[in-house]
Structure 1
């Protein structure tokens, strides 16, 4: 588990907002090269691994995504502050006060802080009540700039990517808290799964593909590069917590339904039975405002059995947290699943 937590820590520390994921994909590629596992880069920029199994007529397909929430520079204001345009589904209030990095098109990186324009309570009476939106929020650059021209001389321009400081921390009590646990926690679990299959010389019952996708937060990460022999498709993504949810930070969450509709009933029951048989703590849940790579694949028209599991993560699309017990339960269920018989 210590290795898993350190791998997550490394992954979340690599900036990778959707649309700018080459660096983190290269890191994953190097990880796989170091354990002598071949991978293939897709034209969309994802990474595909194939583990040959005993049955090559029916395939499994698993995904997790390395792309994260982020932003782009929308405009440079006359006072040298930057306006934002969000990448992914989150709210401006969740990034207020956050440190960030701006990467220019020539590769320069500058730091800043995301603030309300009306932040100073000694100047603005509505500092606490003004709406957190694109009009009112801005980036204060850590550079000596006071005009639009000053900023442009740095090389910063519209369309430059903005990434958020993950502020990752691992506690003595077994929690890991950070931005971007969605879905880099699951990426780490799949990488460890691949590593274990390799090190223990395990031959899986079915040829199994693992896609590290890079456009999930914008809706189309895992809807392509699916071999025609694929029968089962399992997305590994976060389980969401909140009022009315059964998911917690100590079990694996098995999704029954999200905003796209129900996941495959027989596959869901199969996952539950595996958890029960192997004494893996789990929760079945519905995620009301959620979509996954698996649901994207279904919308793309693939004829698949699709499912979704993942570690329970608190405060999704904000400052997230999970516990090593949830990571362990998810990893154990994945290990049993890839060695099990298919539903059909």
Structure 2
């Protein structure tokens, strides 16, 4: 069956969630938005103890349950300490190159709800002052945040309510272009979350039903490796929906749906991967099959957690992952179409 999708809905929802700060460990605000959208579309939503969202979709045959997982947590940082000069030393949340966040605007989130603007810089930020500014090593010890407040000491910063352990979010700088390209931080993995909500919106609007029960799992600790370590025990198959990487000997582009045959956790289920390839070819969806040696997914975490499941990984191609990322709406929509083809496929 041909499933209708609302591209404008997917784009609008993606742009909205890109602009909600959600570094790993600080996802309560975006999860409230996820819950509100699931409720508006008429689907049951529940939270696990660690704050992961689970959305239930009844199928025609409840004898099996398919899980679809994507994550809303993103890269970010925390305040490691406060320098005597009134700048902040940071500790990273998630894995990224320090030069990928240099000169980026950010927000400091205090425990009592106050927000402060800042900029991430090296401790040698000016070529007019430091002879080694160009070659200065970009590592954690040499990075700091300049707070946009009149602070000159540690005590000044503490008076703002800023403390060690406060979260720091990076400005996403989300831009949706008329030619279909989308550039922003955190497309990993909010582009996939938007694709999943495209499926929910389509089910709600056109009243179609998947063959089997679905559990959409919106995880909140993927960037540090244990987002999908717990999944509902009734799940038989788990599909991690996460970005496809680009570069080196990889075939993926920003227009493709990536079907991952193997990542750092090993090969994915042979039958599921083969079926995704078959469906993509049947429906003429632009796709590639790739291997990601430095990549892990929520499906990897679920398998390592001891869950008795089959697992696969697909998602839209994203350039410059964990940096200034870019994808294309074609890849996002075709990810939704490929997933819809899978969950409406007869056994």
TM over 0.5: yes
Does 1:232 pair with 2:242?
no
Q: Which residue of 2 aligns with 1:302?
A: 307
Q: Contact 2:108–2:115 at 8 Å: present in 1 too?
A: yes
- Contact persistence 2:241–2:315 (CA under 8 A): yes
CA apart distance, 1:175: 0.4
Question: Are 1:83 and 2:89 counterparts?
Answer: yes
CA–CA distance in 1 between the matches of 2:308 and 2:72? 25
* 1:254-292 alpha-carbon deviations (Å, 9 max, x no partner): 000111111111110000001111111110001111100
Q: CA RMSD in A?
A: 0.9
1:255 equivalent in structure 2: 260
Higher mean displacement: 52-61 or 311-320: 52-61
The answer for the alignment partner of 2:4 in structure 1 is none
2:52 paired with 1:55 = no
Counting only pairs closer than 5 Å after superposition, residues 13-162 of structure 1 correspond to structure 2 as 13-162=19-168
Cα distance in 2 for residues equivalent to 1:331 and 1:299: 26
The separation in 2 between residues aligned to 1:281 and 1:301, in whole angstroms, is 34
Paired residue secondary structure (2:299): helix
From 204, 207, 217, give the equivalent of 2:213: 207
Report which stretch shifted further, 67-76 or 330-339. 330-339
Looking at structure 1, the residues matched to 42 and 269 of structure 2 have their Cα atoms a distance apart, in angstroms, of 34
| Residue 219 (1) aligns with residue 217 (2) | no
What per-residue deviation string (whole Å, max 9, x for no partner) do you get for residues 192-230 of structure 1?
Answer: 111211222222111111111111001111121322x32
Contact 2:54 2:218 in 1 (8 A): yes
1:192 paired with 2:171, answer no
Matched-pair contact (CA < 8 Å) for 2:41–2:200: no
Residue pair 1:5, 1:176 contacting (<8 A) in 2 also: no
Q: Is the 8 A contact 1:42 1:225 kept in 2?
A: no
Kept after mapping to 1: 8 A contact 2:231/2:302: no
The SS at the match of 1:167 is: coil
> What is the distance in 1 between the residues matched to 2:237 and 2:191?
22
How many Å separate the matches in 2 of 1:180 and 1:30? 21
TM-score (norm 2): 0.97
Q: CA deviation at 1:234?
A: 0.1
- 1:189 shift after superposition: 0.7
Contact kept in structure 1, 2:10 and 2:197, CA below 8 Å: no
For 1:27 and 1:244, how far apart are their aligned partners in 2?
38
Q: 1:53·1:207 contact (CA, 8 Å) conserved in 2?
A: yes
Gaps of 5+ in 2: 1-6
Q: Is the 8 A contact 1:235 1:307 kept in 2?
A: yes
The DSSP-based 3-state class of the residue aligned with 2:201 is helix
Q: Which residue does 2:270 correspond to in 1?
A: 265
What secondary structure does 2:44 align onto?
coil
TM-score computed with the length of structure 1 as normaliser:
0.97
Contact 1:246 1:284 in 2 (8 A): yes
Which secondary structure does the structure 1 equivalent of 2:312 belong to? Answer: strand
Over 6 Å off, 4+ runs: none
Using the TM superposition, give the Cα deviation of residue 341 of structure 1 relative to its aligned residue in structure 2, in angstroms: 3.4
Return the offset for 1:191.
1.1
Q: Distance in 2 between matches of 1:58 and 1:170?
A: 38
Is the contact made by 1:170 and 1:177 (CA closer than 8 Å) also made in structure 2? Answer: yes
Q: Report the alpha carbon displacement of residue 54 of structure 1 after superposing the two structures with TM.
A: 2.0
Aligned residues: 341
> Which one is further off, 255-264 or 201-210?
201-210
